Amino acid sequence: MDYPRFHKNRTNLLLHIVVVPLFVLGVVYAVVAAIQGRWFAALLSLLLPLVSIAIQGVGHKKEPNPPLPFEGPGEFFTRIFTEQFYRFPKFVLSGEWLRALRASR
């Protein structure tokens, strides 16, 4: 997937830089809490990824190129986790996020 093609809008870029780390934090904390047997904390921390995805959805509605539709539940989870843990961090660390922000409309 051509990640920069779907991330050009300034508002969406700014939302992503805040909420993607919240997604990651929520998932990591949920795993740690579950390993420690803190089930309520694990469940509660899963609210962060849910809120993050909802906010990203709002941001993507502002994009000139809407995201491709999901092919099913399996592809939904695979794409979401790949984007949050790999593609977006790579997008930021490579300098593409900053270039996109500077060129944003």
In tens, the pLDDT along 10-31 reads 999 999 999 999 999 999 999 9
In tens, the pLDDT along 70-80 reads 899 999 999 99
Instruction: Give the distance from CA 34 to its chain's centroid.
Output: 22
Which residue reads 């051509």 in tokens?
Answer: 2
**Please, what is the angle between helix 96-103 and helix 10-35, to 10°?**
150
Q: Note the pTM of the prediction, 2 decimals.
A: 0.89
